[in-house]
Amino acid sequence: MTDIDDIFERAATGKSLLKNRQTLTIDYVPEKLPFRDQESRTLAQSLSSVFKGTRPSNLLLFGKPGTGKTAVVKNIVEHLIAKAKERNIEVIVPIINAKTANTAYKVLYEIAETMGINREDKKVHFTGLSIGEATDRILQFIQKRNLHVIMVIDEIDSLVDKNGDNVLYSFTRANERMTKGGFISLIGISNSLTFKDKLDPRVRSSLSEEETVFNPYTVEQLRQILLERSKLAFNDGAISEAIINLCAAMSGREHGDARKAIDLLRIAAELAERDHSSSVDEKHVRAAQEKMEKDNNLEVIKNATTHTKFVILAITKSKNGNTGDVYEIYSALCKDAEETPLTQRRVTQIISELDQLGIVSTDVISQGRYGRSQKIKITVPINTVYEALGKDFIDR
DNA sequence: ATTCCACAGGAAACAGTGGTCC
DNA sequence: GGACCACTGTTTCCTGTGGAAT
């Protein structure tokens, strides 16, 4: 075990490059978000009608991931609650992530939980109620207590994609029903600009009373964000401006996602520490970039269901990558493993899910009289696939 | 211009599970 | 304890599609 002891010894005695790792994680939200003054002001102005006792406009925030939407909302809401408390106004702000609470009922349940309804007689249980009944109980609670509720639904597009806009419809209309007091405002946060098209026109008009678009950060903006964070996170001399420029350039070119850029910086720092290097250099950043991609793919494949793994394996084994060919190989794999194969319809769906996750790429090709099909290709390095599937799985 | 292939993918239905309500 | 509800994963059924072959 001497090599293991050696690792521990070096970790214990080695010099840390980071003085505050926390500031390079998603949990850290700075007091004021750089480059988001305009958006913050718009949001604050919209919410300020709470102080006049009237309902704030419903609001939609659009922007790609890592553009600071959620952070801006959290910041402003925190200020709002504090300011309202000084004036004895009770504002409740349930923040629901519709990607985690991925059904209409789960969203209602989460809202009920954060609002404290479940400490009352008429609870909204984990299951068993109809959606209508759950909505009614929430509205009754708000009305009875004359509450100001600002409902924040993050990733609102995934809720609408999976469940339609019924829940949104009930809440945008709720104020007409609550005649005895209390009100609800909705803030929807979405990664997709086209999400509005999927809404019922009545929901669309009432939900998008105001809209704010968060543009992706430019390379220069990312550079300044990373510079700020690195001052908080790193010990003196542990990172150079050139390395920060590189991280900003790599992230800005690819996605403009501040969260990923900060992750890149953190992982590069961790790799440099493991390397016992006195500072982060270019090779750590490049390695961090590779690691991020690989880890992501590994996790997805490792956690996939058995049938999804069979499909992935079938794609790697297929010569032409046609749907028919892949399905045939998949069926054979199932037969070998004494599993009943899923239908082709379901396999098509699995392939499309893998496509969305970026594990495979598909191109629809038409072979004329020989039909239309998809050309399916694995986009993840084959070694990563085999590593994720495991030798036992491949050899069985 | 029409036919035909090999699918893609939407919609509805179903089975099984885990829960509440009355 | 039966009626009812939601959710997930799946199957079944069906319509639509691009372009080579006829």
The string of pLDDT tens digits covering residues A220-248 is 999 999 999 999 999 888 899 999 999 99
CATH number at residue A321: 1.10.10.10
**Do A386 and A332 belong together in one domain?**
yes
Residue A387 pLDDT class (50, 70, 90 cuts): very high
**Do A47 and A191 belong together in one domain?**
yes
Residue A372's pLDDT is 87
A1 pLDDT higher than 60:
no
A98 pLDDT higher than 70:
yes
| CA distance linking residue A16 with residue A249, whole number of Å | 26
**Do A257 and A167 belong together in one domain?**
no
CA–C1' distance A128–C7 (Å)?
11
CATH number at residue A188: 3.40.50.300
CA–C1' distance A388–C22 (Å)?
49
**Do A104 and A164 belong together in one domain?**
yes
**Do A191 and A78 belong together in one domain?**
yes
A40 pLDDT higher than 90:
yes
**Do A53 and A176 belong together in one domain?**
yes
| CA distance linking residue A386 with residue A383, whole number of Å | 5
| CA distance linking residue A332 with residue A329, whole number of Å | 5
Which of A299, A323, A349 is the C-terminal boundary of a domain?
Answer: A299
Q: What are phi and psi of A225, to 5 degrees?
A: -65, -45
- pTM for the model: 0.82
Task: Work out if A348's Cβ lies within 7 angstroms of strand B.
Answer: yes
**Side chain identity at residue A73, one-letter code:** V
**How far is the CA of A253 from the CAs of A67, A191, A216, in angstroms?**
14, 19, 11
Residue A175's pLDDT is 80
**Do A143 and A68 belong together in one domain?**
yes
Give the nucleotide at minimum CA-to-C1' distance from A351.
Answer: B8
Tell which wins on pLDDT, A12 or A212. Answer: A212
In a domain, A62, yes or no: yes
**Do A225 and A188 belong together in one domain?**
no
**Do A255 and A341 belong together in one domain?**
no
Chain C positions with a protein C-beta closer than 7 Å: 4-8, 10-14, 16-21
CATH number at residue A265: 1.10.8.60
**Do A344 and A323 belong together in one domain?**
yes
In a domain, A373, yes or no: yes
Residue A219's pLDDT is 92
Is A233 exposed, middle or buried (CB count within 10 Å of its CB: 0-12, 13-18, 19+)? buried
Residue A221's pLDDT is 93
Q: How many residues does chain A have?
A: 396
In a domain, A237, yes or no: yes
User: Which has the minimum average pLDDT: A6-15, A202-211, A245-254, A357-366?
Assistant: A6-15
Chain B positions with a protein C-beta closer than 7 Å: 3-11, 18-21
Footprint of strand C on the protein (CB under 7 A): A 102-106, 127-132, 163, 305, 307, 340, 342-343, 345-346, 349, 366-369, 371-372
Residue A276's pLDDT is 85
Task: Work out if A319's Cβ lies within 7 angstroms of strand B.
Answer: no
A309 pLDDT higher than 80:
yes
| CA distance linking residue A226 with residue A46, whole number of Å | 30
In a domain, A363, yes or no: yes
> How many folded domains does chain A comprise?
3
Residue A247's pLDDT is 94
A108 pLDDT higher than 90:
no
**Do A237 and A286 belong together in one domain?**
yes
Which of A249, A270, A299 is the C-terminal boundary of a domain?
Answer: A299
Give the nucleotide at minimum CA-to-C1' distance from A366.
Answer: C18
Which of A190, A214, A238 is the C-terminal boundary of a domain?
Answer: A214
Q: What is the mean pLDDT of residues A348-356?
A: 90
What lies within 8 Å, CB to CB, of A249 at 6+ separation is: A219
- Other C-beta atoms closer than 10 Å to the C-beta of A318 total 20
Tell which wins on pLDDT, A180 or A110. Answer: A110
**Do A325 and A345 belong together in one domain?**
yes
* pLDDT tens digit sequence for A73-83: 999 999 999 99
Residue A396's pLDDT is 67
Query: Over pLDDT 90: what percentage of chain A?
Result: 37
Residue A43's pLDDT is 93
User: Which has the minimum average pLDDT: A82-91, A111-120, A149-158, A314-323?
Assistant: A111-120
**How far is the CA of A45 from the CAs of A65, A69, A378, in angstroms?**
24, 16, 48
Parent domain of A235: 218-299
